[in-house]
């Protein structure tokens, strides 16, 4: 699948204007684009990325060049169509891989469904959302900050604080055509020294965010570097004060793209499992049950979160 995406990207067509380019990235059916957008949109960094009218959009920087990407499904083919505007368009071919990772285009949904659908607890959830994917992130650094911010607060509350961080430490893009994506998320170095007092976050959590940002800025934690040792990254994050197994598991799901990652002690997941099988009220029994879902536990988590969202109408978990 990765080679197919690379080949498609190499055959991309560009408009006459060299500041624009279009990519078409293939995926295996089924692919639940709207649930992907609902998940990302509910957790988006306001001002940095937006979901509107079935389109994902954000401003990007690639090798020193600025631009905007918008992503939507093809009208008739099994592909996502990516429009790149601005100077970053000249790197369009290189954008195929990170975008494919972000939107989980390498997944084989039928293989995943065969495994998870064999479990009576998950079978109805898999049947109701057969094309559910694990949403990734454009920036692993940004996602980890969002995950730390989201500890012990609601999805909506975390989004509010993220918006304050963007406006306090980020950079507004002058003349940007899309108001919803007119801010740059702060770099690790910028966030490490920013004044984050009175943004609605406990002092210890602010210290965790800035300690993490400093580690990324200095290269001690090479989070977004190609070829980094993922197991080493997880161990190093877990050793940092204020970052626990839940945060590392969630980051492994979405940023490190581990299909078997599990956000341990996630309250929404624990409640969802116990509600579907009251005999599994104890955490140790729940952990034993998740062993059945290997090597696709990240997708099991998505199905359980999605089930709660369908039942309550609220974004829960993650």
In a domain, residue 25? The reply is: yes
Are β-strands 171-172 and 55-62 bridged in parallel, bridged antiparallel, or unpaired? unpaired
**Residues 46, 255, 83, 54, Cα dihedral to 10°:** -60
Same domain, 7 and 103: yes
Same domain, 264 and 125: yes
Q: List, as one string, the DSSP characters of 13-71.
A: B--SSTTEEEEEEE-PSP--HHHHHHHHHHT--TTTEEEETTEEEEEEEETTEEEEEEE
CATH number at residue 314: 1.10.1670.40
**Residues 267, 247, 230, 34, Cα dihedral to 10°:** 70
Single out the catalytic residue among 104, 264, 266, 277.
266
Residue 266 known to be catalytic: yes
Same domain, 9 and 67: yes
Q: In 3D, which of 72, 208, 108, 189 has the Cα closest to residue 151?
A: 208
**Per-residue pLDDT reduced to its tens digit, 33-92:** 999 999 999 999 889 999 999 999 998 999 989 899 999 999 999 999 999 999 999 999
Same domain, 67 and 123: no
In a domain, residue 169? The reply is: yes
Q: How many structural domains does the chain have? A: 3
In angstroms, the Cα distances linking 58 to 94, 300, 313 are 17, 28, 26
Same domain, 113 and 100: no
**How do the pLDDT tens digits run along the chain, 318 residues long?**
544 444 444 333 333 345 899 999 999 999 999 999 999 999 998 899 999 999 999 989 999 898 999 999 999 999 999 999 999 999 999 999 999 999 999 999 999 999 999 999 999 999 999 999 999 999 999 999 999 998 888 888 999 999 999 999 999 988 888 888 999 999 999 999 999 999 999 999 999 999 999 999 999 999 988 888 999 999 999 999 999 999 999 999 999 999 999 999 999 999 999 999 999 999 999 999 999 999 999 999 999 999 999 998 877 777
Q: In 3D, which of 224, 188, 189, 177 has the Cα closest to residue 67?
A: 177
CATH number at residue 154: 1.10.340.30
Residue with tokens 């940004």: 142
Instruction: Give how far the C-alpha of residue 293 lies from the chain's centroid of Cα atoms, to the nearest Å.
Output: 21
Same domain, 199 and 211: yes
Position 18 scores a pLDDT of: 57
In a domain, residue 38? The reply is: yes
**Per-residue pLDDT reduced to its tens digit, 289-298:** 999 999 999 9
In a domain, residue 228? The reply is: no
In angstroms, the CA 281 to CA 276 distance is 10
Position 12 scores a pLDDT of: 39
Position 9 scores a pLDDT of: 46
In angstroms, the Cα distances linking 291 to 261, 287, 299, 308 are 11, 7, 13, 21
Same domain, 190 and 151: yes
- Joined together, the tokens standing for residue 10 give 């190499």
The domain of 200 spans: 140-223
Same domain, 113 and 187: no
Position 6 scores a pLDDT of: 44
């Amino acid at each position: 699948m990765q080679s197919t995406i690379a080949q498609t990207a190499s055959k991309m067509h560009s408009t006459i204007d060299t500041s624009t380019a279009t990519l078409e990235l293939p995926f295996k059916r089924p692919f639940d684009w709207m649930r992907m957008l609902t998940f990302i949109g509910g957790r988006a960094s306001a001002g940095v990325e937006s979901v509107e009218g079935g389109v994902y959009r954000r401003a990007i920087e690639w090798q020193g060049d600025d631009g905007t990407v918008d992503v939507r499904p093809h009208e008739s083919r099994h592909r996502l169509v990516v429009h790149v505007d601005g100077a970053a368009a000249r790197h369009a071919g290189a954008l195929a891989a990170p975008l494919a990772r972000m939107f989980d285009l390498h997944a084989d949904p039928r293989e995943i469904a065969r495994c998870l659908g064999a479990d009576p607890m998950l079978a109805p959830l898999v049947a109701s959302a057969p094309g559910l994917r694990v949403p990734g992130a454009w920036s692993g650094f940004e996602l980890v900050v969002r995950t730390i911010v989201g500890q012990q607060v609601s999805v909506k509350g975390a989004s509010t604080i993220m918006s304050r961080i963007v406006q306090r430490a980020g950079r507004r893009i002058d003349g940007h055509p899309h108001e919803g994506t007119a801010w740059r998320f702060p770099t690790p170095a910028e966030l490490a020294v920013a004044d984050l007092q009175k943004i609605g976050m406990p002092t210890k959590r602010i210290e965790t965010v800035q300690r993490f940002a400093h580690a990324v800025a200095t290269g001690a934690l090479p989070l977004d570097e190609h070829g980094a040792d993922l197991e080493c990254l997880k161990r190093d994050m877990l050793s940092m004060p204020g970052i626990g197994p839940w945060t590392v598991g969630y980051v492994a799901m979405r940023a490190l793209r581990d299909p078997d990652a599990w956000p341990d002690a996630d309250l929404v997941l624990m409640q969802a499992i116990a509600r579907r099988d009251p005999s599994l009220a104890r955490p140790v029994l729940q952990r034993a049950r998740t062993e059945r879902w290997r090597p696709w536990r990240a997708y099991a988590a998505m199905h359980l979160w999605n089930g709660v969202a369908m039942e309550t109408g609220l974004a829960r978990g993650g």
